[in-house]
Amino acid sequence: MSQKQENWKWCSKCACIFFAGNAVCRANNGVHDLSGSAMYTISFQPDAPGQEKWKWCKKCQVLSYTGNTVGGCQAGGQHDVSNSGNYHLPSTGGGQKPWRWCRKCQGLAWQAAACTAGGNHDFAGSGEYHICMDGDPRAQAAIGQDEWRWCKNCQLLCFDGKTSCAGGGTHINAGSGNYVVSFAQQRPVPNAQSGWKWCNKCYGLAFSENATDGVCPRGGTHNFGGSGNYAVLMNVPPAGGQQDKWSWCRHCQQMWYTGNGAGRCARSASGGHTQDGSGAYVLAFV
């Protein structure tokens, strides 16, 4: 098991192991809480109506206006919009209003909450923006990019960042170890079970060889496109640098830690994981 991928983390909210990829929030211990948010759709087609030069920052996941200055980033320094599309925000039509531009941080915000530049957002000089919410109006949704969400802590619009948690909002990995999950080789690996894969929707580690792909926190079932084939030690005592009490949940198919209660499973808004039928898994950490 020589090929290894680091940066797998345990989420203390849902007790799942997931591949790191958090959005950064200044107002909530570094992580956005997207619970209670609608699903917004924003257009990036060249001929879309509205004001252009709105861009996504890959560091803090926020949508900011780049027609003036780039603006200060919650993750430190200035926004990094190098990989962003050119988004258009309309000031008329359907959708949710009023979203406004903050002239201090250049971000799009719903209320005058904490601003990265200090104090609260300053909407002086801002227009009133309308954003498609949950596919309404349909015509706008058809040409936009969804999975933008409102953060109830900093009030900014941010891109989900593929870290949706079954417990609500995004994952919080405070207190987590840095786990190492091995790739399965062509030959069988002693004491290890292969067929574990990464979901490119929720970033969770899920078992892929059952009749169902499992319920995904981001809706529908897991999508294993682009994943390697991971092998996890099973039914062996933990050695140095290893941790036991990991199990498979037959509802969401994910790997979860059993040492802190039942966690939260994507199958239900309030239900936990189950150990029914699971082996006893062991994960290495660095």
pLDDT digits (tens, 9 = 90+) for 97-146: 889 999 988 989 888 877 878 888 899 999 999 888 877 766 666 667 77
**59 and 26 Cβ atoms separated by less than 8 Å:** no
**161 and 21 Cβ atoms separated by less than 8 Å:** yes
Rounded average pLDDT over 87-103: 87
185 confidence band (pLDDT: 50, 70, 90)? low
d(CA 278, CA 259): 15
Q: What is the DSSP letter of 96?
A: E
d(CA 24, CA 275): 32
Check residue 273 and give its pLDDT: 92
Check residue 1 and give its pLDDT: 41
Is the model's pLDDT at 13 over the cut of 70?
Answer: no
Rounded average pLDDT over 204-208: 91
Is the model's pLDDT at 277 over the cut of 60?
Answer: yes
Mapped onto helix, strand or coil, the DSSP state of residue 75 is: coil
Check residue 2 and give its pLDDT: 45
Place of tokens 């030959």: 187
C-alpha atoms less than 13 angstroms from C-alpha of 233 in its C-beta half-sphere: 17
pLDDT digits (tens, 9 = 90+) for 207-265: 999 999 998 877 789 999 888 888 999 999 999 989 999 999 999 999 999 988 888 88
Strands (E), 165-285: 179-183, 192-198, 205-207, 230-234, 242-248, 255-257, 281-285
Is the model's pLDDT at 25 over the cut of 50?
Answer: yes
- CB burial of 167-177 (b: ≥16 within 10 Å; e: otherwise) equals bbbbbbbeebe
pLDDT digits (tens, 9 = 90+) for 58-86: 777 788 899 988 888 877 788 888 888 89
d(CA 115, CA 42): 22
All structural domains of the chain with their residue ranges: 1-21+177-286, 40-159
**258 and 245 Cβ atoms separated by less than 8 Å:** yes
Does residue 137 have a cis bond before it (omega within 30 degrees)?
Answer: yes
> How far does the chain reach from its first CA to its final CA, in angstroms?
16
Check residue 162 and give its pLDDT: 45
Of residues 286 and 280, the one with the higher pLDDT is: 280
95 confidence band (pLDDT: 50, 70, 90)? confident
Q: What is the DSSP letter of 188?
A: P
